[in-house]
Structure 1
Amino acid sequence: IESIFILTIITFYLGILGILINRLHFLSILLCLELLLISLFLAIAVWSINVNANFILPINLILLTLSACEASAGLSLMVALSRTHNSDLVANINLLRQ
């Protein structure tokens, strides 16, 4: 179980590193955010198994629901950005107001 904790910590930091490196493209930022949420989901699930805490399971379901909402909102922004500006550059997000 300790190796799974180490794996979740590594994936969390890889997600943060991916966001810092790939700041140009919106799709890569969305993928890194999903990696952050999946690693957090896995860490909470493993922790709840480790301490035999069954009350943590609803928190995992809420986190999974929020992750799906974040993905759908991000993809809708991605579609709007690519339709209006034909690119997924983060610099074009401020141009969506016009």
Structure 2
Amino acid sequence: MALLIIVLSMFFLGFIGILLNRLHFLSILLCLELLLISLFIGIALWNVEMGILQNASFNLLLLTISACEASLGLSLMVALSRTHSSDLVANLNLLQH
């Protein structure tokens, strides 16, 4: 039960971090990673608690998607920092170009 509270608090901290800390693009990416890691841990704990070990492939799929999201986010951050010379979210106005 304590692990469930920890996983839920991790998820809500990541969600609140996205809502409140939108100054830099990297902080948004880190909060998204916290969301995905908490989902991964929560699903893994749920599988262990229920005794269902056949769904371990779903955990690996979620971890793979999380890694792909991280690489895509970092490549977007590099592209945005090269074109706009900063990673500030306020400077991103896609309607200018």
TM-score range, shorter chain: over 0.9
Moved more, 31-40 or 84-93: 84-93
Normalising by the residue count of structure 1, what TM-score does the alignment of the two structures yield?
Answer: 0.91
Counterpart for residue 41 of structure 1: 40
Provide the secondary structure at the position in 2 that maps to 1:72: helix
In 2: Cα distance, 1:55 partner to 1:97 partner: 50
Amino acid at match of 1:46: L
CA RMSD after TM alignment: 1.5
Equivalent pairs counted in the alignment come to 97
Counterparts of residues 17-32 of structure 1 (less than 5 Å):
17-32=16-31
Counterpart for residue 68 of structure 1: 67
Counterparts of residues 9-24 of structure 1 (less than 5 Å):
9-24=8-23
1:91 to partner: Cα distance: 3.1
In 1: Cα distance, 2:79 partner to 2:95 partner: 8
Which of the two has greater helix per residue?
1
Counterpart for residue 6 of structure 1: 5
Amino acid at match of 1:86: S
Amino acid at match of 2:94: L
In 2: Cα distance, 1:32 partner to 1:59 partner: 22
Equivalent pair of 1:23/1:29 in contact (CA under 8 Å): yes
Moved more, 86-95 or 67-76: 86-95
In 2: Cα distance, 1:86 partner to 1:49 partner: 46
1:97 to partner: Cα distance: 7.8
